[in-house]
Amino acid sequence: MSSSPSTPAAGTPSGATGATPWHARECHEVAREYAVDPARGLDSEQAAQRAREHGPNALQAAPRRSVLALAAAQLADPMVVILVIAAIASAILGDKLDALVILAIVLMTTALGLSQTWRADRALAQLQQLAAAQATVLRGGHPHAIPAHELVPGDVVLLEAGNQVPADLRLVEVAQLMADESALTGESATVAKHAEAIAAPAATLGDRHNMAYLGTSVTQGHGRGIVVATGTGTELGKLARHLAPARPDTPLQKRLAAFSWRLSVAILLLCVAVFWLGLLRGEPPVLMLLTAISLGVAAIPEALPAVVAIILALGARKMATRKALVRKLSSVETLGSVTVICTDKTGTLTQNRMRLERLLADARPWLPGEALATPCQRQLLVAAALCNDARPDPDAGTDISTTWIGDPTETALADAASAAGIDKLALEARLPRVQEQPFDAARKRMTTFHRQAAGYIAFTKGAPESVIPCCTSRQTADGTLPMAPRAALHDALHDAQALAAQGLRVLALAMREHDALPAPDAVAGAESSLTFLGLVALFDPPRPEAAAAVRDCVTAGIMPVMITGDHPETALAIARMLGILGEHGGEVLTGAALAQLDRAALLAAVAHVRVYARVDPEQKLRIVEALQDLGHFVAMTGDGINDAPALKRADIGVAMGRQGTDIAREAASLVLLDDNFATVVAAVREGRRIYDNIRKFVRYAMTGNSGELWVITLAPLFLLPIPLLPAQILWINLVTDGLPGLALAAEPAEADVMRRPPRHPRESLFAHGMWQHILGIGLLIGLVSLGVQAWALGQDRDGWQTMVFTTLTLAQMAHVMAIRSEHVPLWRLPLATNLPLLGAVLLTLCLQLAVIYLPVFQALLHTRPLDALELAVSVGAAAIVAVAVEAGKARRNARAARAAQAGGTAAPAH
């Protein structure tokens, strides 16, 4: 069908004619209006033309901050404004050179802050792009997954249970389609959808049962619809036009912001004290005013929350490159607190590459590759091919009959049928599906109804314990025979259990013929008096890296727990292969048994159970809550619609990026782009590394600030002149707090990062001796700097102020190198493992030497060239700081070693 010159406006509810709303029009009218065949969709040229005409399918977003706006925000900082005013006042009073130097340093500091903020914004924007919603559309007759923002009016969208509706759609085909529209209408009950025109043009949103709207979700069934509105033209877009999305701070940022404010007040009071102490010593008032202001600007940690945001954003972006997409930035800082990982089996611990291992029909086994020996075996494969939603892969070329896409279990069954000479496409043409009852977690089975020459035939597929009790007869080589109530049921279930014990996933298939098609609301009742056809057993091998990931969990003090809908014997077999059970034996708790437990019994069970089988998604929520009641910090994986409550309730919800539903991804804080359990463990490792590096940055920045405060505050008490000029204080702040501190974010994970117990989620950032380190090493930096000053004054050296200036800068460089690890000696840390930090330190050293020895900088910062002895004294004094940090590491390591020898299992000090 050729493209029309123009399509109806994307936001027009009544179509191009402006007369009749979409819900009141027949499907063929809507298709004609948009020049689209609902069976084929648009072609690429039509889609491209309409994309140019209508723009992206996106709601109005908050405008990105421009560079000028970011710069203005930096310059509007109160401390910067105060410093600029002070510099201007200094210039008016005659000290113009110092005023220009201070203003230049302020501009450089602002430029550095601007660069950091821009990088953080860009990292967050890239994460948002990665998290963009997807939609499945028909293009040229084939389904394609595309970003939802690329949808155009007239696109034909395919919907399945678990999908978020990506635009406003006029439904043209449905199969038991149910939708949750509570986000739009406020009604909590799900809505049954149909494709018929609605006679009432003025029907409210909640009554338009042939429409699907952006922001709603599909809870059951499947269907297709034509896009009639995109972006701000959708019903949700109309509501959202005046709402600007906010970017909330993480809990850690909030705590640091509050801490910074309180500390800033204390530092400002200290700066006032420094000002008056200087006046009492007879120092010039303007000098003391600039010194106090410069000290406040350098020492107040107002940038801590911002830098933490940068580290979190850059860390989250790095995690995305490792297949773990962070949807909630707060999860990065809390990953290190995980004590339990509850994980699915299929596709997460296993490869999700199902293959048929054997087939059991009339008690006779069949293996793939063998010729079908009996009609019973063939009928079983026919049922497996028809009660099956796998569809041909459009990219498979001419070999389309044996290459399928869809659920891995169903594609494995379709492949096995094809290999046995059964043409699934020809079967579907001869026995077309006319009705279905989709799989759900409560029934654990699905049924499809097909038209045949005389009446209808239904095929049912599902868990053996769900399907077999519905059977009253069984197919044998001698024909259909009654199924003895106990013996045959026991034999069939025993066969299923024996196969499951080998780690195989077992499904039972059955059939029933009908004279007339059951009413849609009576389909569930039609799943009775079935004829048992047999069992199929599939194998999904464990992922090669899963066992190592499980071992990493155990070593890190994290308890891996498998929760699956599979047979208990299958779950136990895989758990044993991967080492999940360990010393806890072979106990497995089934969903049926779990349902009988009261709260106290459940708490007792979850304390030691490592494997749950035949569990409904709703029961995952009970497990999560019970684990949390025991004090655990829980990560929970999930992919289905009903997993969403458990994902939200878990401390960290982890959704599947490949097989997961949109609803599950929306509820999660972390999305696995490869659906791999090892990626969860890698994310925990990365989260621990990021948190460690945040601690290192805070340790470094606040220790340096503490040292600067001690130098200026203690000098008058030791009857020494003010050791630093305002411009020198600001220079130290510029070259030490900038690149070296931020480069700590690139520090690799320490060797023991996955050998420590999980961090308590409420643990202070300053725990494990950080406060003592900040105050103690900061005081040491101040004392060695003042010691250099006293020595130089005693030697009557003109360069005493330059020596203090240099010692303070070098001491902070020695400190930043020493704290790369909290317990590994500096000489055992290869320099090449953090090249950004090495480069930042070398650059700082070069800048400091330039300030000392280049005349232009000497004039600006009032420095003197140091001779070899003076430089050696400054370097030696700075090295004392590194020696002190290393001595502290040695003491902590010795205590840990003594505790281990005494029979303890203390973690390395950190």
pLDDT of residue 788: 96
Whether 826 contacts 882, CB under 8 Å: yes
User: At which of 675, 698, 726 does a domain end?
Assistant: 675
Average the pLDDT over each of 190-194, 308-312, 400-404, 490-494 and give the range with the smallest value.
400-404
* 472 inside domain: yes
User: At which of 492, 521, 539 does a domain end?
Assistant: 539
* 140 inside domain: no
Average the pLDDT over each of 218-227, 263-272, 335-344, 696-705 and give the range with the smallest value.
263-272
- Alpha helices, DSSP H, located in 77-230: 78-92, 96-130, 182-185
| Pair 554, 631 in one domain | yes
Angle at 21 (CA atoms; ends 15, 22), nearest 5 degrees: 70
User: At which of 519, 539, 559 does a domain end?
Assistant: 539
pLDDT of residue 116: 57
Instruction: Read off the DSSP letter of residue 505.
Output: E
Asked if the model's pLDDT at residue 548 lies above 80, the reply is yes
| Pair 794, 706 in one domain | yes
- Alpha helices, DSSP H, located in 221-284: 235-240, 251-280
The gap from C-alpha 868 to its chain's centroid, in whole angstroms, comes to 54
The gap from C-alpha 189 to its chain's centroid, in whole angstroms, comes to 30
| CA-wise closest residue to 244 among 61, 512, 45 | 61
| Pair 775, 838 in one domain | yes
* 7 inside domain: no
Q: Span 100-113, mean pLDDT?
A: 67
Q: Span 702-729, mean pLDDT?
A: 86
Task: Round to whole Å and give the CA distance between 790 and 17.
Answer: 90
Whether 510 contacts 460, CB under 8 Å: yes
Greater confidence (162 vs 448) lies with 448
For residues 105, 107, 113, 115, the Cα torsion angle rounded to the nearest 10 degrees is -120
| CA-wise closest residue to 510 among 488, 489, 528 | 528
Instruction: Read off the DSSP letter of residue 824.
Output: S
Return all residues near 790 (Cβ < 8 A) that are at least 6 apart: 718, 720
| pLDDT band, residue 101 (cuts 50/70/90) | low
* 380 inside domain: yes
Whether 464 contacts 504, CB under 8 Å: no
The CB density around residue 726, as the number of other CB atoms within 10 Å, is 30
Give burial (CB, 10 Å; 0-12/13-18/19+) of 54.
buried
E strands, 505-633, where? 505-514, 530-539, 559-563, 589-590, 611-613
Which own/partner contact pairs does 520-525 have at CB distance under 8 Å and 24+ positions apart? 520/176, 520/435, 523/435, 523/436, 523/437, 523/447, 523/449, 524/437, 524/443
pLDDT of residue 424: 92
Asked if the model's pLDDT at residue 712 lies above 60, the reply is yes
Q: Span 244-264, mean pLDDT?
A: 67
CATH number at 215 reads 2.70.150.10
Calculate what percentage of the chain has a pLDDT beyond 90: 39
pLDDT of residue 346: 84
pLDDT of residue 3: 39
Amino acid letter for position 795: Q
Greater confidence (320 vs 402) lies with 320
Task: Round to whole Å and give the CA distance between 760 and 843.
Answer: 38
Task: Round to whole Å and give the CA distance between 365 and 177.
Answer: 38
Greater confidence (97 vs 421) lies with 421
| pLDDT band, residue 526 (cuts 50/70/90) | confident
* 522 inside domain: yes
Task: Round to whole Å and give the CA distance between 192 and 605.
Answer: 39
Listing DSSP states for 189-235 in one string gives S-EE---SPPS-TT--GGG-TTEE-TT-EEEEEEEEEEEEE-GGGSH
Asked if the model's pLDDT at residue 555 lies above 80, the reply is yes
pLDDT of residue 13: 43
Q: Span 95-108, mean pLDDT?
A: 65
* 390 inside domain: yes
Greater confidence (395 vs 668) lies with 668
| Pair 288, 331 in one domain | no
pLDDT of residue 1: 37
Task: Round to whole Å and give the CA distance between 845 and 735.
Answer: 9
Q: 504-522 b/e with 16+ CB inside 10 Å = b?
A: bbbbbbbbbeeeebbeeee
| CA-wise closest residue to 163 among 206, 133, 132 | 133
- Alpha helices, DSSP H, located in 330-374: 330-334
Tokens 């090249």 belong to residue: 835
Whether 50 contacts 154, CB under 8 Å: yes
Backbone angles phi, psi at 98, to 5 degrees: -60, -40
Asked if the model's pLDDT at residue 2 lies above 90, the reply is no
pLDDT of residue 70: 66
pLDDT of residue 722: 85
Whether 546 contacts 578, CB under 8 Å: yes
Greater confidence (357 vs 89) lies with 357
Q: Span 14-30, mean pLDDT?
A: 74
Rg (CA), the chain: 35
Asked if the model's pLDDT at residue 67 lies above 90, the reply is no
pLDDT of residue 115: 67
Greater confidence (265 vs 67) lies with 265
Tokens 């310059």 belong to residue: 75
SS3 content of the chain, % helix, strand, coil (to 5): 50, 15, 30
pLDDT of residue 298: 66
Average the pLDDT over each of 184-198, 388-402, 469-483, 561-575 and give the range with the smallest value.
388-402
Chain mean pLDDT for the chain: 84
- Return the structure tokens found at 497: 């259990």
Angle at 381 (CA atoms; ends 380, 384), nearest 5 degrees: 90
Tokens 């091998």 belong to residue: 541
Task: Round to whole Å and give the CA distance between 732 and 728.
Answer: 6
**Which helix (H) or strand (E) segment is 797 a member of?**
none
Average the pLDDT over each of 97-111, 184-198, 287-301, 553-567 and give the range with the smallest value.
97-111
**What are the C-alpha distances in Å from 689 to residues 306, 777, 828?**
19, 24, 19
Q: Which of 344, 389, 616, 651 is catalytic?
A: 344
**Which helix (H) or strand (E) segment is 634 a member of?**
strand 634-638
* 908 inside domain: no
How many separate domains does the chain show? 4
Asked if the model's pLDDT at residue 14 lies above 70, the reply is no
* 6 inside domain: no
122-181 residue pLDDT tens: 655 555 555 557 888 998 888 888 888 899 999 999 998 878 898 999 999 988 888 888
pLDDT of residue 561: 95
pLDDT of residue 906: 43
| Pair 505, 413 in one domain | yes
| pLDDT band, residue 475 (cuts 50/70/90) | very high
Amino acid letter for position 880: I
- Return the structure tokens found at 498: 């024996």
Average the pLDDT over each of 34-48, 215-229, 310-324 and give the range with the smallest value.
310-324
Instruction: Read off the DSSP letter of residue 9.
Output: P
**Ramachandran area for residue 583 (φ above 0: left; ψ -120 to 50: alpha; else beta):** alpha
Whether 761 contacts 563, CB under 8 Å: no
Tokens 């320099």 belong to residue: 831
| Pair 481, 497 in one domain | yes
Task: Round to whole Å and give the CA distance between 380 and 535.
Answer: 8
Pairing state between β 355-361 and 559-563: unpaired
pLDDT of residue 75: 65
Q: Span 54-73, mean pLDDT?
A: 70
| Pair 378, 520 in one domain | yes
| pLDDT band, residue 686 (cuts 50/70/90) | very high
| pLDDT band, residue 64 (cuts 50/70/90) | low
855-880 residue pLDDT tens: 999 988 889 999 999 999 999 999 99
pLDDT of residue 186: 63
Q: Span 584-605, mean pLDDT?
A: 88
**Which helix (H) or strand (E) segment is 615 a member of?**
none
| CA-wise closest residue to 333 among 757, 631, 690 | 690
| Pair 377, 495 in one domain | yes
Whether 675 contacts 657, CB under 8 Å: yes
| Pair 650, 627 in one domain | yes
Return all residues near 454 (Cβ < 8 A) that are at least 6 apart: none
Q: Span 833-849, mean pLDDT?
A: 94
Pairing state between β 530-539 and 471-476: parallel
Domain of residue 341: give its range.
324-350+543-675
Greater confidence (182 vs 596) lies with 596
pLDDT of residue 8: 62
Task: Round to whole Å and give the CA distance between 815 and 886.
Answer: 10
| CA-wise closest residue to 835 among 744, 732, 770 | 744
The gap from C-alpha 80 to its chain's centroid, in whole angstroms, comes to 36
Greater confidence (249 vs 344) lies with 344
Task: Round to whole Å and give the CA distance between 155 and 150.
Answer: 10
| Pair 715, 658 in one domain | no
The CB density around residue 82, as the number of other CB atoms within 10 Å, is 13
Pairing state between β 433-440 and 445-451: antiparallel
pLDDT of residue 709: 86
Asked if the model's pLDDT at residue 119 lies above 80, the reply is no
| Pair 311, 335 in one domain | no
Average the pLDDT over each of 219-228, 369-378, 514-523, 762-771 and give the range with the smallest value.
514-523
Asked if the model's pLDDT at residue 277 lies above 70, the reply is yes
Q: Span 656-671, mean pLDDT?
A: 80
- Return the structure tokens found at 102: 């201070």
- Return the structure tokens found at 171: 């439904």
Task: Round to whole Å and give the CA distance between 907 and 899.
Answer: 10
| Pair 818, 693 in one domain | yes
CATH number at 789 reads 1.20.1110.10
Asked if the model's pLDDT at residue 48 lies above 80, the reply is yes
Q: Span 896-907, mean pLDDT?
A: 68
Average the pLDDT over each of 26-35, 556-565, 717-726 and give the range with the smallest value.
717-726
**Is 207 considered catalytic here?**
no
Task: Round to whole Å and give the CA distance between 309 and 253.
Answer: 7
pLDDT of residue 76: 63
Give the sign of the dihedral formed by CA 626, CA 629, CA 630, CA 636. positive
pTM of the model: 0.76
Whether 220 contacts 212, CB under 8 Å: no
Whether 288 contacts 278, CB under 8 Å: yes
**Which helix (H) or strand (E) segment is 435 a member of?**
strand 433-440
72-82 residue pLDDT tens: 766 665 556 65
Q: Residue 677: how many CA atoms within 13 Å on its side-chain side?
A: 31
Whether 412 contacts 355, CB under 8 Å: yes
408-427 residue pLDDT tens: 899 999 999 998 999 999 99
| CA-wise closest residue to 591 among 569, 561, 613, 563 | 613
pLDDT of residue 105: 61
CATH number at 474 reads 3.40.1110.10
Asked if the model's pLDDT at residue 63 lies above 90, the reply is no
pLDDT of residue 4: 41
Give burial (CB, 10 Å; 0-12/13-18/19+) of 644.
buried
Q: Span 530-546, mean pLDDT?
A: 93
Q: Residue 422: how many CA atoms within 13 Å on its side-chain side?
A: 24
Calculate what percentage of the chain has a pLDDT beyond 70: 85
CATH number at 620 reads 3.40.50.1000
